[in-house]
């Protein structure tokens, strides 16, 4: 089938590009460990390959130097992959200090709070719903204070109100947003 052949060819080309990029970036970082941009790129590449430990090493080295919300979010994702919810929460909060409406940071923080509170029911909900009713700032304050259960409840309430506002339906399906 022509589309399948084209798709397979595209995927193979992307895999070759990644396979080439990994050793190149590793070489750059080995020769110049102070190149924080290369370390951030290498960390993201490791993260994409679910090598969370190596991703965390590289992203930790880059995060503070670059002061970049996306790098802190990537670090949070790597730490979540390692099972370090507390470290991930700290990274997401750091990203939000730099960029208060960063959607990926809000989403990551919500997931970390839900998991810490033992409530994995809403981790796929969109972060845009969190900021709509102003509840996000309350939930963030609760998370910063280590009150993850209350933060998860506040995030859930904000998501519910946003779904109602968007659909006019009290039984809105949040994952469908």
Residue 158, CB half-sphere, CA atoms under 13 Å: how many?
25
Task: Check residue 128 and give its pLDDT.
Answer: 39
- Nearest 5°: the CA angle 164, 170, 173 is 75
* Owner of token pair 């709509």: 132
Neighbouring C-beta atoms of residue 22, cutoff 10 Å: 16
Q: Look over the chain and give the mean of its residue pLDDT values, rounded to a whole number.
A: 75
Please give the C-alpha separations between residue 31 and each of 8, 27, 28, 52, in angstroms, as whole numbers.
35, 6, 5, 22
b/e 85-122 (16+ beta carbons within 10 angstroms → b): bebbbbbbbbbbeeeeebebbbbbbbbbbbbbbebeeb
Helices (H) and strands (E) in the chain, counts: 9, 0
CA 109, CA 158: separation in Å to the nearest integer?
Answer: 14
Neighbouring C-beta atoms of residue 56, cutoff 10 Å: 26
| 17-39: pLDDT as tens digits | 666 778 888 888 899 999 999 99
pLDDT at 41 over 80: yes
Give Cβ neighbours of residue 1 (< 8 Å, ≥ 6 apart). Answer: none
pLDDT at 123 over 80: no
Neighbouring C-beta atoms of residue 138, cutoff 10 Å: 16
CA-closest candidate to residue 143, choices 101, 176, 108, 172: 108
* Owner of token pair 């080295």: 61
pLDDT at 13 over 80: no
Task: Check residue 144 and give its pLDDT.
Answer: 73
CA 64, CA 159: separation in Å to the nearest integer?
Answer: 31
Both tokens of 156, joined, read 């859930």
């Amino acid at each position: 089938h022509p589309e399948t052949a084209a798709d397979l060819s595209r995927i193979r080309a992307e895999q070759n590009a990644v396979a080439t990029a990994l050793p190149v970036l590793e070489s750059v970082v080995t020769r110049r460990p102070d190149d924080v941009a290369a370390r951030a790129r290498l960390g993201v590449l490791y993260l994409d390959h679910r090598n969370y430990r190596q991703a965390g090493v590289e992203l930790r080295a880059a995060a503070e130097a670059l002061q970049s919300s996306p790098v802190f979010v990537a670090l949070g994702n790597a730490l979540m992959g390692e099972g370090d919810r507390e470290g991930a929460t700290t990274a997401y909060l750091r990203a939000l200090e730099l960029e208060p409406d960063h959607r990926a940071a809000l989403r990551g923080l919500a997931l970390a709070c839900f998991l810490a509170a033992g409530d994995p029911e809403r981790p796929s909900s969109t972060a845009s719903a969190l900021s709509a009713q102003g509840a996000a700032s309350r939930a963030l304050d609760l998370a910063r204070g280590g009150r993850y259960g209350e933060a998860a409840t506040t995030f859930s309430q904000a998501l519910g109100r946003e779904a109602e506002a968007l659909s006019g339906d009290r039984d809105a399906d949040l994952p469908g947003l």
